[in-house]
Every structure is written in C-alpha cells, then in structure tokens.
Structure 1
Amino acid sequence: MAVTRRTLLSSLALGPPAAVLAGAAPAHAASPAGDVVGKVSVGYQGWFSCPGDGAPIGGWWHWSRDRFQPPSPANTTIVSWPDLRDFARTYPTAYPNLGNGQPAALFSSYDQQTVDTHFDWMRTYGIDTAALQRFNPVGDEGPTRDAMAQKVRGAAERTGRKFYIMYDVTGWTAMQTQIKTDWTAKMSAHTASSAYARQNGKPVVCVWGFGFNDDGRPFTPAQCLDVVTWFKAQGCYVIGGVPTYWREGKNDSRTGFLDVYHAFDMLSPWMVGRTGDLAGLDWFAANVNAADQADCNAHGIDYQPCVLPGDLSSGHRRHGDFYWRSIYNMVRLGAQGLYVSMFDEFNEGNQIAKTAETAASVPAGSGIRALDEDGTFCSADYYLRITTDAGRMLKGQIALTSVRPTPPTTATTPPPSPTGDLAAGKAASASSANGPYTAANAVDANAGSYWESSGAFPQWFQVDLGGAYAVKSLVLRLPAGWERRTQTITVQGGTDGASFSTLAASAGHVFDPGSGNTVTVTLSGATARYVRLAFTANTGWPAAQLAQLQVYGDDAPTTPPPVTDLARGRAATASSQVQAYGPGNVTDGDAGSYWESANNAFPQWIQVDLGAAVTVSRAVLRLPPSWGARTQTLAISGSTNGSAFITLSGAAERTFTPGSGNTVTVGFEATSIRYLRVTATANTAWPAGQLSAIEAYAS
C-alpha cells in the first residue's frame, strides 16, 4: 500500500515526555465483560507467504520487497527474526546461515500448521482474542485474505480462542461501498462460528483508519460515519482503530471527525511509533490517554488502548520493561480492554510472537537484532509470558503493579552456555583493508566474501565478541575455490581491546582446497572478549586474507560449521536455454529461478566452472520446490580444463518429488575437478532439461 502504519507514524512530531501519571480514577464501564471488554486482544497480521505454500498471491508476500525473489539482506521487509523451533514446515531463504550454522528459513502464514501453532501459543499464554487484519479485499491479496479468515476460524475453534475481523482501510479508495459488500457477501458468514468474538451479544468488527491525517485515508467524515452506522445497523459491535490524537483533532488526526469517533462502540487509538522510552509512555498516559478514558466514559464508549512491546530493531524494549510500563499505565487508567500491537508484526519489530533469542538464531551478518540485544537473555516466548501477566492484571487476578512480574527466563529456559559461533555478525576491525575487502566480510557467514589487508606485513584482524568468553577453538576459512597457501598467524586475546595476550603462538597454517580451505585452531579456554589474529606472511598473496573467522566457546561446535557449496555464485554455461531461463539461475541461490534447455532436443547439458580445481564428492540437484514430481535421466561428469570430461556418476533416472523438496543428491568418488557438468537425456514432465540449482560439495 502507498502509506503504511509505519511510514505514517514515523513522520509525526510528538510532544516531549513530561510528568508521569500521578493517579487514576476507576473507569465507568460502558459494557460488561465479553470477548473484548475485560480481555486482551492481539492484532494478527497473518500475511506472510512463501513459494510452494499454495497462497493465491504467490511469492514471498511480506517477507521480500520484490516478492518474486527470495528474502535476503538486500531484499527484505522484516527487521526481526522469528523463532521457528515449534514449526513443522519452513521455507529456505537467500539469507546467510544463522549464527549457529543452521540454514535461514521462514514460515508461511498460509500453512494451516503455522496458524494452528500461533493459536496454540495464544491458548498456552492466555491470550483471549485475535483481531484478524483485513486489507482491501478487492485487490490482488483478496483471495489469500479470504482463505486466511477460514484458517484463523478453524484454529480459533480448535483452541477455544475468539477472533474478529479488523478492516484496515488504508489505500482502499472505494471503501465506502466495497466494505459493506465484503461484509455481507463474505465475512459476516464467520459470525456463525462459536469462536467469533461477541460483545454485548453482538458480533465484533473493527474498522482501522478513519480520521488519520494522511493521503492513504482521504475519506470524509460523512463517508466514515455512514460506514460506522451501517455496521451498527447490521447488529455489530463496532470498534474504531483511530489516531492517537483523535479527541483533539491534531497531529495524526484530521479535524471534524469527533462525531465519527463518538459513533463507535469502542475506541482503540494507535500508539506504535509514538515513543520509544518509559518517560514517553508516562507522558502519553498522563497527557493523552487519561483524557481519552474520561471522554469515553462520558460518552458510554468502551476504551481499548494499544499496548506494545516496543520496536526491537530500534532498541526500545528494555528487556520487557517498556511493554510492562505500557500495560501498567493502561490498566491503571481503568481501560475496558487491551489491544496488543502486534502478535506477528516482524516487519516493524513490535511482535510478541516467539522471536530469536540470540545472534546464534538470526542470519549471520544481517544486522537483525535478537531478544538479547541489550545484554539480557530473554527466552523466545518472553513477550508471550508478559502478555499472560498482562491479562491476569487486567482481570484482577494479580494486583496492579508497576514492577514487571515476568522474569526474562524460566526454570526451563536458562540462558544458553556460550555455544555456537560467537563471532557471527559481531563487530570486526583490522589494521588495514584493500578496497571493498573489509573486516566485516570475515564475520558475515559468506565464505565467498573476504577481508584482505594492504600489501605489507605485519597485519591484524580483530573481532569483538560482545562479552568475555572462555575461547576454546577457532575456525578460519578462505574462499573454497582458492588455491593452496600458507599464512603465518598468531592468535591473541584480550578483555579490553587494548592489551592482548598470546592464545596460540605464531605458526604456519595451511589452507588447502582439498579440505575446503579451512583451518581449525584449538585453544586452552582462556577468557577473551576480543580475539585478534596477527599475520606476518602469506605464500599465496602479499597480504593477509580471511574469508571467515568462527569463534567457539565450547570444545567443538554443537552444530557443525556449514558445508560450503562450491558452485554458489560461480559461472555456468549450457548447451542451450529457453527465453530467460538461463544457466546462471542454477548458481544464484534462488530456488524459484531455473534453467531450461531447448525443448524436444535431447541430449542437453549444463555445467558450472568452480573457479579452480577442487575436490568434489557430492552434487545436489534441485527444482523449484512447488513443482510437481518428475523423473529426469541425468549423468554427472567433471573436467579440469573444460574440454575433456570424465564420468562421475553415469546416466540414471533421478526422481524429483515435492515431498523431498524436489531435491536429488548424487554421491561419487572424491575427484579433483574445476568443471562440473550435468547431462540430461530425458524428462517425464517436460521435453527439456530443467534444474533450479546445482550445488557441489567436497564431502
């Protein structure tokens, strides 16, 4: 949409924090307890899709800026990373591996298993009601949104949760008529469900966006009032998602809308982006929310203010204190209900759903912050557990308290010991750098990028682990296709970044393509925050060079370092191609792009130049994961010069099935080759050779 909540809110000028809320009078409840009054509701986007999940909209909806390309650091819309340990099905991305070496994958909201998992969490953590977001259903996302409503309904019925439809009118120019048609023809049918939220005996519907002072919602007061009164005439209890300054008609609110706002049964003013600190929350409570509550009480309107965990990507959370202060201030006012913004909003960083705990669980070098970003370890479910306590305090099951009662961890979720790669994504520096070959390249988990010093010795490379650890081993890498060389390196460590002691004496370390150009250095376990490598010689180039430094605090990595795909990003050629389906697609890391040969013209071949002679013992062949099953007759051969080839694995029927990710692995005797060729002579599904990926591995 042209204007999003995030872009709108970031443009607003806010008043400075003032005195904290001094006191609060009990509210006059306009309505008795129901499914929104006296309850905690969460905003549920349900808007992520992935290729192969069956979503009508297709592509990486809401994960990528270009949804037809896989998400990566350069093609992303998210600022936080989900914790995926509870999901049965995930989808590989083009992000670097996680800090722990695991592939970086994401979930699809369109999978029923994802929705079921989210609603299982809501049941486990005492979340009463989900507000399913519904954007312009007449656009291209309409069929996907229709299906999501059904999936949410099923999950809510199974888990005993309630749900309601929350229309977001952003960018919906024909909203006044189309919203009525959509409700009558489609969404009203869901009110027959036992899980559909009801308040005062009426089905609940929310309309978010009336009165906002921006171009994305240009509706007049008369248009908006018509919609509100129409829904009420249909027997609905109508919630208004309104601007922060609705009552005063300034800043984010247009003037002349007070009659519209007062026509709603419940008001839920937006707060995301308004402030990022505790003093700001207190200022709004005292200077905005208190008067909002009084106005609602005076007009018999229920008040459902937003409470929010804070933008993780901007460092607002303060390991839960920001969220709890937001909750405490609104319960203290006497709010009739709470609206949590949001459950699954990984795009804006204000999600409460399970989130990556540490750098080990986010893509290395991506810059995405984990829950421990301020140094306090928080379990993945921490903000769900805070929401549990929020509900208990709202319902009077625990006493009103400004002190957060929820610990960042529980007895079953202790802070992790220092395992995994401690250097992944951490700050790195060096004595010098040659052009773009900077120090950051050695901690970005991409073994193809590298740091290179200027052409003079000695040189040093250093990483700040962010905390002091007992360092027991290092793994050093150069790009897998590089020729053999020996670098003379001393390993040093320190706790302050100024003084260093020797952890491993100067020695010649051999980087050999036969071993993946990888060197492991075992250390004694001395404590260090800063690990430094001092280089004094290199037999392969007159400079220090390093593609990856991994640092481990345990005796060995709990997860083996990722095996390098020797073909990734390498040049590829083929006997022929159809249209844009060229050979470069098999090494671009995008499982959705592919090579296709000329049709009805077998045999056909495609080959990858690995850049140098390297040992290869395994090839992985892929087709797009959403394609139907097929069998291709394929042979694999190799060459050192690109002209004389030897057979590595003879022609055989290779079956690609969606159940195995449309992936075929072919092992063969370890052989030193530079060129890897796949020859196709038959295909049961299409009269051409087809591959979306060729991967080559040393082991």
Structure 2
Amino acid sequence: MSTGPCQPSAPNNGDIIGQVVTGYQGWFTCEGDGSPLKGYWHWAPDRLKPMCKGNCAVISWPDMRYYERQHDTAFAPYPNGTPSRLFSNMDAQTVYAHFRMMQEAEIHAAALQRFVPCGPEGPPRDITTVHVANAAVATGVKWYCMYDVGGWKKMRTELPEDWRTKMSQYASSPVYARQNGKPVVAIWGFGFNDDNHPFSPEECIEVIRWLQSCGLYVIGGVPTWWRKGISDSRDNYHDVYRSFDCISPWMVGRASLTKDLDFYFSECNKGDAEELHSLGIDYQPCVMPGDLATGRRLHGDFYWHHFTNLARLGTTGVGLYVSMFDEYNEGNHIAPTAETSADQPSDFPHPALDEDGTPCTADYYLRLTRDGGNMFRGRLPHTELRPTEPWPGRGPCHRSRQVAIKAMVNGRYVCAEGDGHLINDRERAGAWETWTLEPCPGGTRFKAYTGKYMSAQQEQDKVVANRDTPGAWETFEVNRLDDGRVTIKAWTGKYLQAIPEGKGRMVAGAAEPGWWESFTLEDV
C-alpha cells in the first residue's frame, strides 16, 4: 500500500513537482587537486595513471572556458597548441560554476548523487557536498541528496546511518529542496533486475519507511518497466515501488531515436502517470538530451522531442528530471561541451557538439533546457518546432530531415511518382519513398525524391508533388498524437488521407482526422 498523499502534489507545493531538476554527478577529480582519493577519478579508468587517449573514461570533452582552476592531463594539446586541461569537483569554483549554469538554465534543483559513502568514495563526496551546499546558497538553485545504491552491500543499515549522521544536517537549509513541506531525499536503484541491486523487497521497504518516519519526501529512481514488473524490473517489487512518495523511472540507454521516445511515451509515460495519479503518488519522468558520441542528438531535436512529449502530461503531480547535468562519461550531459574538434585535444577520439554538421554553442543544451522547462511549466506555448537556435544568429533554427511516410490504414509507404501523383502502396521505404521535411513559417513542406514539393489542390481534394517552388499551397501543418502517429493538415483545412483502394490513392479530403488520416514519420 502507498503511503503517498490522497492526491498528487500541486505544482506550487514545492521544489520537485511542476519543476525541472537535474541529476548532478559531481564526481570528477584530478591529480594535484587535494582529493583524498588522488588521481583522475571518473576521468580515467585507472585514476592513478595520467589521463590520456589510452586511459580515458569520458566520451565528451567539456568546454573549459568556465573554470578558473584547471588541471593538466596527458592528452595532446588542442590543435591551436592550448594545453589539454580539465576541471575537478574538489575545487569550489567548479561547483559554483555548475550551479551558475543551472541558474541561467532555470533549473530549479540538482539531485546530488551519493554512492556508498561508507567506502573510499565517501571523503571526496563529503567535500563535494559542502561545495554544493555553498553554491546553492550563492545561486538560489536548490539541491537534494540522491543515494545510488548500486553495489552497496550494507545499504540497509549504512544508508539510514549516513542520513542521520551526515546528510540530515543540510535538510534544514532554505536551499535544500522540499516538497509538500518535507525535505527531499531520493534512492536510485531499488528493483533493478541485475546482480548490482540484490536487495530484498522487505529491506527496501524498511529503508523507505525509515526515511519517511524522519519526515522526508522520498523519491524512487526505479526501472523503466517498474509498473509491469518485466524486463529491467524484478517482478516482486510491486509494494516497494508504491511505497515511495514519488516515482522517477530511468530512461537513459532506452531510446536513441525520436520514434523510440514516442514508443515509451505511449507504453510507459502515459500509463505511469495515470496509475500514480490514481494512487496519489507523484511522477518524475526523465528527459534526456541524447547520446552525443553516437550522433543521436540531432542538434537538439531529440531533446526537444522528449520535452514536447512529457509536457503533455501537465504539471499536477509531475516534475521533470534531466538525465544528466555532467555525465561526460556516458555522453548524455547538458553541461557546456567542446563546440568543435578544435576545442578539444587533437587526439581525443570522440565528436564535439557539431557532431552532425550543425554548429552549436557550448551552452546550447542549457538553453534548450531553459526553453523546454518553460514549455513544460506553461510559460512558452507547446510546440513541436524547437524555438532554440543552436547558434544564435547563425543560420535557421531548424534543419531539414529525411523521413518515410507510412499510412496507418494499410501499413504502406507513400511515394511520389514521376508525374507527381501520390500513392501509398509501397511495402518498403527506399529512395522513391523518401521525403525531405523542410520547416517553414506556418508549418512544414514535403519535398519528394523527384525534387518537387507536395501540394494540396482544392479541385477534387487532389494532393500531388509537382511544384518546383513552395508557397502556401505547399505548406502543411503536422500534428503529433500521443501514440506517435501524426496528422497532416493542408492549407485548405482538410487532412491528408490514404485511400486503401486500388493503388492507394492520396487526397486531402477529410474535415476531421481519423485512422485513414494518420501516418507515422520514420527517419531514414
């Protein structure tokens, strides 16, 4: 049974619900920074050896212009000869710089990760915690403790003791995050179906109940499929999950394409929100910028797509968790990053922010977070078109993308024939079934493989692709539905429609959208 409130939290009841927060690792050290661990902790697999191409644990290079104190590495210099240096979280200025970035991005709070504090990681974590508490006071960005219990063998006794003897001293600070009047603490890892999280349901519930008895609001960082008890989730954790005050399912590594985000919104996010709302438990889904190293960010379109999906949930009982702020190790970070290969060591083998050919400023994903958060909070209109420029003043905000248009009514792909007629009878998407989507004022234009633009005619509701120059007749309004399908509305006010008879004729003749008027856009 849940111990949550009778109703989900209202957005104005605290620092979690209706807000955007971010996970903060705060775990980097460098040789000579005074760390109790010494060496390049989290920068390198072997922290006691020089950090270099052959001893490197990160796949993205930070933009170093923000840091006053910098530490040498054994990487080659930048192409212009600048020495390759890195920041350390042992330096108070580093943490302050990060919280200033969060402040400017209008991130409301940071979840400071805390790993097995009774082991070797404890002393540097304690130092970072002091820096975080001071940076929060200086910037006004709230923070809270998130325990990551992976590999924590004595978690059952040591986590409560760590809270009682160390972390509880911070909870009375005005900059420590609160929800519904209670200090916030999170536990990441209960219920994951792997050898690193072998806890029994009973001991998990015992720890949750103990924290709640201390007057705390407890968030659970849980598996993606927690509600169904399948895949990444253990199947006997039903009562554990529903003992939290708030559920925050993990998403990193689950989705690499925008269509994946639509799948998880349909299969996870909507159902999660509905069930938790009925139980009076809050919901904090992850929003991700995408994996930079594998070229999945689409110059911000992946991140914006995730924001637009989750903004549909509203803010009652819902807050957003950005995964993560400084995760340079996995490449899913929003902190400033090298803009081009000229801004990182010449022998660093991973891409910079211009990984797909689009110039992006180092702080681009912070600016995207600000705008996405404002859309979620209702301060900006809900829009599928990303309003944030990768590089202000340098080129269009949006770039074209190539897709295949699949009609839901018969599962076939739309093709423009040489004479301009549109049909939807192709079983597979090849070159002739590839369309270029061009964002434009007032909507979207579709350019066929032939180089001609799709156009809607008033006469007999015709749709053809035979125009050399686009104008109003060649402009369409694309609206995405909750399950990932889209509708395509012509300037005539009618919806694009796939007629399944014959060769799959295409018209724009429906006054209202239905199944025949729904499509999917598959990136090619």
Q: TM-score with structure 2 length normalisation?
A: 0.73
Partner of 1:389: 371
Equivalents in 1 of 2:236, 2:94: separation in Å? Answer: 42
Partner of 1:209: 189
Residue aligned with 1:313, SS: coil
Partner of 2:481: none
The Cα shift of 1:414 comes to: 8.7
After TM superposition, the runs of 4+ consecutive aligned structure 1 residues lying more than 4 A away are: none
The equivalent position to 2:243 in structure 1, one of 263, 271, 274, is 263
Residue aligned with 1:147, SS: helix
Verify the 8 A CA contact 1:49 1:61 in the aligned structure 2.
yes
The Cα shift of 1:239 comes to: 0.3
2:47 counterpart of 1:47: no
The equivalent position to 2:165 in structure 1, one of 185, 195, 205, is 185
Residue identity in the other structure for 1:310? G
Residue identity in the other structure for 1:79? I
Mean CA deviation greater in 285-294 or 180-189: 285-294
Verify the 8 A CA contact 2:10 2:18 in the aligned structure 1.
no
Partner of 1:92: 72
Residue identity in the other structure for 1:39? Q
Residue identity in the other structure for 1:30? S
How do 1:196-275 and structure 2 match up within 5 A? 196-275=176-255
Whose relative contact order is higher, 1 or 2, with alpha carbons under 8 Å and at least 6 apart?
2
Equivalents in 1 of 2:182, 2:350: separation in Å? Answer: 43
Equivalents in 1 of 2:78, 2:314: separation in Å? Answer: 44
Partner of 1:105: 85
Q: 1:123 to 1:414 in 2, by over 3 A?
A: farther
The Cα shift of 1:366 comes to: 2.3
Equivalents in 2 of 1:47, 1:384: separation in Å? Answer: 20
Residue aligned with 2:390, SS: coil
2:297 counterpart of 1:317: yes
Residue identity in the other structure for 1:237? Y
Partner of 2:433: none
Partner of 2:63: 83
Partner of 1:366: 348
Residue identity in the other structure for 1:374? D
Equivalents in 2 of 1:322, 1:372: separation in Å? Answer: 15
Partner of 2:149: 169
Equivalents in 2 of 1:310, 1:70: separation in Å? Answer: 29
The Cα shift of 1:99 comes to: 2.8
The Cα shift of 1:368 comes to: 1.3
Residue aligned with 1:333, SS: coil
Residue aligned with 2:22, SS: strand
2:355 counterpart of 1:377: no
Partner of 2:97: 117
- Render the CA deviation track for 1:9-31: whole Å, top value 9, x for unaligned: xxxxxxxxxxxxxxxxxxx7434
The Cα shift of 1:77 comes to: 0.5
Equivalents in 1 of 2:344, 2:375: separation in Å? Answer: 33
Percent of aligned pairs sharing the same letter: 53
Partner of 1:328: 308
Residue aligned with 2:321, SS: strand
Residue identity in the other structure for 2:388? T
Partner of 1:30: 9
Verify the 8 A CA contact 1:362 1:368 in the aligned structure 2.
no
Residue identity in the other structure for 2:350? I
Residue aligned with 2:187, SS: strand
Residue aligned with 1:154, SS: helix
2:320 counterpart of 1:341: no
Verify the 8 A CA contact 1:32 1:200 in the aligned structure 2.
no
The equivalent position to 2:270 in structure 1, one of 260, 274, 290, is 290
In the alignment, structure 1 segments of 5+ residues that lack a partner are 1-27, 416-699
Equivalents in 2 of 1:90, 1:30: separation in Å? Answer: 43
Residue aligned with 2:171, SS: helix
Verify the 8 A CA contact 1:31 1:302 in the aligned structure 2.
no
How do 1:201-600 and structure 2 match up within 5 A? 201-334=181-314, 336-411=318-393
Verify the 8 A CA contact 1:49 1:59 in the aligned structure 2.
yes
2:108 counterpart of 1:154: no
- Render the CA deviation track for 1:251-304: whole Å, top value 9, x for unaligned: 100011111111111110000000100000011101111111111111111111
Equivalents in 1 of 2:384, 2:146: separation in Å? Answer: 31
Residue aligned with 2:215, SS: coil
Residue identity in the other structure for 1:143? P
Partner of 1:499: none
| Higher strand proportion | 1
Equivalents in 1 of 2:102, 2:117: separation in Å? Answer: 26
2:18 counterpart of 1:73: no
Residue aligned with 1:148, SS: helix
Residue aligned with 1:222, SS: helix
Equivalents in 2 of 1:239, 1:414: separation in Å? Answer: 42
Residue identity in the other structure for 2:336? K
Equivalents in 1 of 2:388, 2:11: separation in Å? Answer: 28
Verify the 8 A CA contact 1:307 1:339 in the aligned structure 2.
yes
| Higher helix proportion | 2
In the alignment, structure 2 segments of 5+ residues that lack a partner are 1-6, 397-524
The Cα shift of 1:310 comes to: 0.6
Verify the 8 A CA contact 2:244 2:281 in the aligned structure 1.
yes
The count of aligned residue pairs is: 387
Residue aligned with 1:192, SS: coil
The Cα shift of 1:83 comes to: 0.2
The Cα shift of 1:394 comes to: 1.6
Q: TM-score with structure 1 length normalisation?
A: 0.55
The Cα shift of 1:213 comes to: 0.3
